[in-house]
Each structure stands twice: as C-alpha cells, then as structure tokens.
Amino acid sequence: MVKKPFIFLLLTLILILLNQVYVDATLDYAPRNIDTECSPKNILVGSYVGGRSHLKPILDVAAILIERGHNVTLLTSGYYAPSLEYPTFEKSVKDYKETYEKYKSVAKDYNIDLFICDMHINEACLDIANTLKKPVVGMSSFFQFANRGLHKSDPMFQCNISLENESFLERFKCIIVRPLKLFYMIHPIINQLNNFREQVNVKPIVMGQSPKVSLHLVDTFFGFELPQSLPPNVQEMGPVLSEEYPSLTPELSDFMNAHDRVLYVAFGTRFHASTENNNKLLQSFVEAINKKIIDGVVWALVLTPEDSYSSTITLTDGSHIQTSPILNNKHPHIHITKFAPQFAILNHTNTKLFFAHGGAGSSHESLYTGTPMLILPFGVDQMGNADKLESAGVALTLNKFNLDVSDIINKIDFLLKDKNIKKNSERLEFLAKINSKRKFRAADSIEYILHSSNLNEGVDEEFLNEWFPAESRMGLIKGNNYDVYGAWLGIVLGLIGGILWVIFVSISFILKRIIPFFIQKLKNE
C-alpha cells in the first residue's frame, strides 16, 4: 500500500513542473539571428581543361552563389561537353601567355572581386588572381595540390596510396627518390613556364611550390580519402553532387526493371580500352550472365566502332559468339547505350555492381548510392582512387596490362556475395550522404573570403591570417621547430658526451693511480 506522504510529494512535484512549463510558455525569447549580409560580388570561375568531371563540382558551388545574388562568369578554354582527351601540362604551358591575357581582360571587363580556379594545370588563373591581389579559391578533387600528408603517397610515384605498413626503404623511395625523379623530368617545363611568367611580370615559382590560394576546397571526404590533418585554409567539401539528375529513359527503365542483378559498366568519356581488352570485357560479361552471376549488363559506350572488337569471341567452353549483334543491342541481357543517366542507374535497386575507371565523380556517385565497384583504372588520379576504394573495402581493382577473363568473373562474383563488401558499402553510403551537404559550407566559406577582403580593402600579407597556419609564415626550419629540436638534441648529446667524458676520466684515473697503488701495496706485504 502506497503511503500518503509519498502521494503528497509526487503531486507537489507535478504541480511545480506544470508551473515551470506555464512560466516558460509565457516568457519571451530573443531568436538567434543566423543571417549574414554579403553584398553581391563579381566572381570568375576559371578552368583550363574544361570537362564535366572538373567543372561540375565548381559549377554546383557557383550555382549556390548565384542563388545568393552574386554574379558568376565562367571562362574555360576547354569544353564542358565530353571530349576525347585532356589537354596536357605541356600544352597549358605553351598557352600560358594567351590564357593569362584572357583572364586579365575578363577580370578587368567584369570588375572581378574573387577568382575560383580549377587547380588542374591552370596556373594562369591562379597567377592573375595573385597579380591583381584578388582573393582566389582553388578547387580540386584530391589533396595532391594541398598538404599530401607524410604517411601518404600516390600510384603516380609507383607507390601505394598509404605508407603505413611500408618498409623504410619503400618509404624512402616514395617520399624522396621518386618525387625527385618526377621533378627532374618536369624541371624543363617548369623553367619554360617561369620564363613565360616573367614575360607577363609574374613572379616565378620555385620547383614544388604552388601559387598561393586564399582557400583550397577539395571535392572529397574522409572515409573515401585517407585521413590526415589539414590547415584551416584547406577544407574537404565533397562529395559535391547535384540536386537533380537525368532520369532513366523508358527503354532503359524497362531493361532495368526486367533484370534483378544488373552490372553497370562505364569508363567515362575520355578513356577507352584496347581492342584486346574490349574483347575480354565482352567475353567476361557474357560468361558471367551464362553462369547466372549477373542477369543483365548496361554498358555506356561513347564510341562503339566495329574495329574496336573482334568479329567473334571465343568463350572459355570453346563456343563462339558474334560481337556485332551484342553491340547493336540484339542480346536480351546486354544493353549498350551511348548516353547513360549514370546516377539514375546507380540509384536503381537492381544495380548491384559498378564496373568503372575510378574517376572521382563516378566514385562519389557510387559511394553515395552504396554500389560496390570493380575498377579498371586507365591513368591520372584513377589509380589512387582505386587504391582508396579498395582500402575502404568497397571495391576490387584490375590491371589494364594484364586483364584475365577468369579474374574478372571471380571478382564480380566476390563483390556481389561478400558480406563485408555490403557492410562497408552501406557505411560509406551513409557517410557520403552526410558529407554531400557541405557544398553549402563551401559557398559560406567563399562568402566569408569576399566579406573579409571587403573589410580588409583587398588582399595583403595580413589577409586571412586566421586561416593560414603560423608555420606557413615561419619558414621550413622555424615552422617545424627544427631549431628547437636541434638545440634539444645538442643538449642531450652534450649531456651524454659529458657523462661519457666523466666515465672515461674516472676509468683512466683508476687505471693509472688506484690500481697501481693497490698492486704496489700487495707487493710490499
């Protein structure tokens, strides 16, 4: 039986709580104001190479800035549409003066307040911003242009993406030897670039140094990217994804809905396999379907010339198939298309695996939709992306120089069945969706730079000191405290040397004075 004093106490507490709720409801609170004021500014987006993969993340952030009232101008010597190949670094150097003058002219005509530069072989954009003392935001898809991290390398140096478990010799090669070899190879081109810089009154850049940027935005995220520490002026903002994507065509939708285990294949618009590898890929898909590992293939082929494939392909069991009917969509379970709404395909519940080249944009879309990947990297950053995805446990890779049909089929089968692959894909899908919201933070950071440059009346040595780490101004020795560590090492070595000297003197004294004294004493006795 409940005692009356307990009931009285309980009723008292309830009345106190109700009274507090009533008091809170009648009080007036001042709302927290999160609005920021930034007057409309003129922004120039510059890209030398063009191309969807380089421009799309920048344009997505630019779209947010346009919605906020800013005026954005795009200047690119490349094309936004698909192209067969990227312009080379050598070509960008040859075009430097012309590109620089174009940036200079547009900056003057449109009264540009801030530059957003694609950092891929786009030195002219960065240089003109620094020359005009305008804030400049650099954008890239990986950290190679920023602080790479002491524990990281890149397959471009013939190294693993992570040096965590490498031997001392391998780390020495990857950190010292191979980068020096690369720098030696491109040294003449850098000299030529600096000569062009001097002709337009731009200060030359020392080998290994990059033009200064106010803010470096990187279209990536940790989870896909190996973790590392970053200075405040380097911020990861990816994966940058559009708010809307093209939907499936009726024909493609019917094909996808009719197949439960679809393999989607796409190598982008700039990379193409050799005839021999194309034959192996086609054979692998046919045999994977025959073995019921998959039941459908959607292959995005920008170019499907007859001479890119043999007329017939011999399967493992010795049978022969004609390639022409397959390429002309006569096979009931293989759909070839020149245009593929990639995100819509990856987001379809029946797409179980993505066979790709490992480009940054494709990797981000695959991670966002939780689709495991089989990667056939062709060049540039794709080898590094393949390593990252495999390290994250969501992909397996192939070697374009050593393609094997059985290996392809076995890896497709493994990726579809392994529980860890599925678990890791779900984990990174959640992480990618969370991080995809950060393009708005990127726009916020750009607006802060605009606001700060307006208050500061331009860009000078003090501009954005709150973002630039002190070591960037202190120099190599002081910034890394090498002088302090050197002094400490000197003190420690001095103490050790002093102790050893005392021991040496003591031993010498014992050997010269004390031991002979005892020996003489023993003789006298």
User: Three-state SS string across 454-474, please?
Assistant: HHHCCCCCCCCCCCCCCHHHH
Lowest mean pLDDT among 79-93, 114-128, 320-334, 370-384: 79-93
Q: How far apart are CA 42 and CA 112, in angstroms?
A: 5
Q: Judge whether 221 lies within some domain.
A: yes
**Stretch 76-83: mean pLDDT:** 58
Predicted pLDDT of residue 11: 61
Give the model's confidence band at 4: pLDDT under 50 very low, under 70 low, under 90 confident, else very high.
low
Same domain, 314 and 395: yes
Same domain, 360 and 457: no
Same domain, 268 and 230: no
Q: Judge whether 1 lies within some domain.
A: no
Q: Judge whether 515 lies within some domain.
A: no
**Stretch 446-473: mean pLDDT:** 78
481 or 496: which leads in pLDDT? 496
List the beta bridge partners of residue 46.
75, 117
Q: Are 283 and 315 in contact (CB under 8 A)?
A: yes
Same domain, 344 and 370: yes
Same domain, 483 and 445: no
23 or 394: which leads in pLDDT? 394
Predicted pLDDT of residue 453: 83
User: What is the per-residue pLDDT across 28-51, written as a single tens digit (0 to 9) for each?
Assistant: 677 776 666 778 899 999 988 776
Report yes or no on whether pTM surpasses 0.85: no
User: What is the per-residue pLDDT across 277-315, written as a single tens digit (0 to 9) for each?
Assistant: 888 888 999 999 999 999 999 998 876 555 566 778 878
Q: Judge whether 11 lies within some domain.
A: no
**What are phi and psi for residue 483, nearest 5 degrees?**
-65, -40
Same domain, 342 and 381: yes
* Cα-based distances in Å from 177 to 76, 210, 358: 36, 20, 27
Q: Which residues of 153-190 are buried (b: 16+ CB within 10 A; e: fewer)?
A: bbbeeebbbebeebeeeebebbbeebbeeeeeeeeeeb
Give the model's confidence band at 334: pLDDT under 50 very low, under 70 low, under 90 confident, else very high.
very high
**What are phi and psi for residue 140, nearest 5 degrees?**
-150, 175
**Stretch 333-343: mean pLDDT:** 91
Q: How far apart are CA 352 and CA 295, in angstroms?
A: 10
Q: Judge whether 20 lies within some domain.
A: no
Q: Report the share of the chain in percent with pLDDT over 90.
A: 39
Q: Judge whether 375 lies within some domain.
A: yes
Same domain, 424 and 289: yes
434 or 160: which leads in pLDDT? 434
Lowest mean pLDDT among 244-253, 349-358, 460-469: 460-469
Helix/strand/coil percent split, the chain, to 5? 50, 15, 35
Predicted pLDDT of residue 83: 46
Predicted pLDDT of residue 277: 83
Range of the domain at 391: 250-434
Q: How far apart are CA 325 and CA 492, in angstroms?
A: 78
Same domain, 154 and 266: no
Q: How far apart are CA 322 and CA 336, in angstroms?
A: 15
Lowest mean pLDDT among 301-305, 315-319, 358-362, 392-396: 301-305
188 or 79: which leads in pLDDT? 188
DSSP 242-283: -S--PPPPHHHHHHHHT-SSEEEEE-TTT----HHHHHHHHH
Predicted pLDDT of residue 422: 95
Lowest mean pLDDT among 50-59, 414-423, 432-441: 50-59
Same domain, 419 and 449: no
* Cα-based distances in Å from 41 to 141, 444, 459: 26, 14, 15
Give the model's confidence band at 82: pLDDT under 50 very low, under 70 low, under 90 confident, else very high.
very low
**Stretch 54-60: mean pLDDT:** 86
Give the model's confidence band at 459: pLDDT under 50 very low, under 70 low, under 90 confident, else very high.
confident
496 or 184: which leads in pLDDT? 496
The last residue of a domain, from among 404, 434, 464: 434
Predicted pLDDT of residue 84: 47
**Stretch 177-192: mean pLDDT:** 83
For residue 222, the tally of other CB atoms under 10 A from its CB is: 12
The count of domains in the chain is: 3
Residue 518: pLDDT over 70: no
Same domain, 90 and 200: yes
User: What is the per-residue pLDDT across 60-69, written as a single tens digit (0 to 9) for each?
Assistant: 999 999 999 9
The last residue of a domain, from among 380, 407, 434: 434
CATH of the domain at 119: 3.40.50.2000
Q: Judge whether 78 lies within some domain.
A: yes
Same domain, 354 and 455: no
For residue 476, the tally of other CB atoms under 10 A from its CB is: 8
Q: Judge whether 22 lies within some domain.
A: no
Lowest mean pLDDT among 121-125, 151-155, 299-303: 151-155
Same domain, 385 and 468: no
